[in-house]
């Protein structure tokens, strides 16, 4: 069974306790930590894979909606709040669900099952499609073919059974293997720098023998890729 690492960002102790009890009753959820404000949560988001955030809207210092906007590659998010007027704004940020307090367990279960469906094989298809002679590909997301222009890609990251395609405008996660996508890319335009990363050469801002900087992101160069990567980049 796939398990989802989750955190709670909630400043009300009673609401936090309710969510902790609910999470404990769902076998595919694993609670990593809980926080009373959004800024304190950033450490876990940077240290390990977090799949889901239960996020309150009205938080001290930094509001929930504003916190989501600060995340370049946010995990899945379920909003928890007593205020329904933020629902539309939340869904514009592609959240999984919007839970109104007080939260009933049945409604909580519906929300987390929605996450399970979103990330299941029923929704993500491993197939990739590149029309002949075109400068874009289609990837399957939420039962739709989503167009991704090669020239807009900054980097592609492996997430075990999934890949994350990052552009300046959006981030797309699809069920695939990094090697499958690598076969579709023009090797003159893209470079595998790590077992988990492929980058667009023209997006590179700076590099050393161990890291590459591109569009504000720093990515590692894998040891087994170092000689090849440096040989290609030093020729440019």
Confidence grade of residue 89 (pLDDT, cut at 50, 70, 90): low
Position 81 pLDDT exceeds 60: yes
Spatial distance between the Cα atoms of 58 and 28, rounded to a whole number of angstroms: 28
User: How much is the average pLDDT of 44-50?
Assistant: 80
66 and 109 in a single domain? The answer is yes
Number of C-beta neighbours around residue 187 at 10 A? 11
For the chain, give the mean pLDDT.
85
67-78 mean pLDDT:
84
- 161 is a domain residue: yes
What CATH number is attached to the domain comprising 99? Answer: 3.40.50.2300
Closest CA relative to residue 142, chosen from 168, 121, 113? 121
- Residue 87 pLDDT exceeds 90: no
Q: Name the domain boundary from 98, 118, 138.
A: 118
Q: Judge contact between 154 and 200, C-beta under 8 A.
A: yes
Are 15 and 114 within one domain? yes
Supply the angle between the helices 105-118 and 13-24 in degrees, to the nearest 10: 60
Model confidence at 128: pLDDT above 70: no
Q: Which domain holds residue 172?
A: 128-235
Q: What pLDDT is recorded for position 52?
A: 94
Is the CB of residue 130 less than 8 Å from the CB of residue 153?
Answer: no
- The pTM of the full predicted model, rounded to 2 decimals, is 0.53
When pLDDT is cut at 50, 70 and 90, the band that residue 65 belongs to is confident
Same domain, 139 and 114: no
Confidence tier at 124 by pLDDT (50, 70, 90): very low
Residues 3-19 have pLDDT tens digits of: 899 999 999 999 999 99
Domain membership flag for residue 152: yes
As a whole number of angstroms, the distance between CA 22 and CA 15 comes to: 11
Based on the fold, state whether residues 112 and 8 are members of the same structural domain: yes
Long-range pairs for 176-185: beta carbons < 8 A, 24 or more residues apart: 176/126, 176/128, 176/139, 177/126, 180/126, 180/128, 181/128, 181/156, 184/128, 184/130, 184/137, 185/150
Nearest one of 114, 141, 117 to 129, comparing CA atoms: 141
pLDDT in tens, 148-206: 999 999 999 998 778 999 998 899 998 888 888 888 888 889 999 999 999 999 999 99
Domain assignment present for residue 169? The answer is yes
Shared-domain flag, residues 185 and 101: no
Residues 103 and 197 in one domain: no
User: Residues 192, 174: one domain?
Assistant: yes
Q: Are 70 and 96 in contact, with CB atoms under 8 Å apart?
A: no
């Amino acid at each position: 069974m796939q398990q989802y690492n989750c955190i709670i960002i909630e400043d009300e102790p009673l609401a936090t306790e309710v969510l902790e009890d609910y999470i404990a009753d769902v076998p595919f959820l694993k609670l990593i930590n809980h926080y009373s404000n959004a800024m304190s949560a950033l450490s876990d988001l940077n240290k390990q894979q977090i799949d889901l955030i239960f996020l309150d809207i009205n938080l001290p210092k930094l509001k929930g909606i504003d916190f989501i906007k600060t995340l370049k590659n946010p995990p899945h998010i379920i909003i928890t709040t007593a205020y329904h007027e933020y629902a539309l704004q939340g869904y514009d940020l592609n959240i999984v669900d919007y839970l109104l307090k007080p939260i009933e367990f049945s409604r909580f279960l519906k929300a987390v099952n929605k996450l399970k469906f979103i990330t299941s094989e029923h929704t993500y298809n491993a197939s990739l499609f590149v029309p002949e002679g075109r400068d874009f590909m289609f990837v399957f997301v939420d039962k739709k073919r989503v167009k991704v222009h090669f020239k807009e890609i900054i980097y592609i990251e492996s997430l075990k059974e999934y890949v994350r395609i990052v552009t300046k405008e959006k981030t797309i996660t699809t069920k695939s293997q990094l090697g499958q996508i690598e076969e579709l890319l023009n090797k003159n335009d893209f470079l595998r720098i790590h077992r988990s990363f492929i980058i667009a050469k023209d997006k590179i801002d700076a590099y050393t023998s161990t890291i590459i900087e591109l569009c504000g992101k720093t990515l590692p160069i894998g040891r087994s890729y170092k000689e090849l990567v440096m040989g290609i980049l030093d020729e440019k």
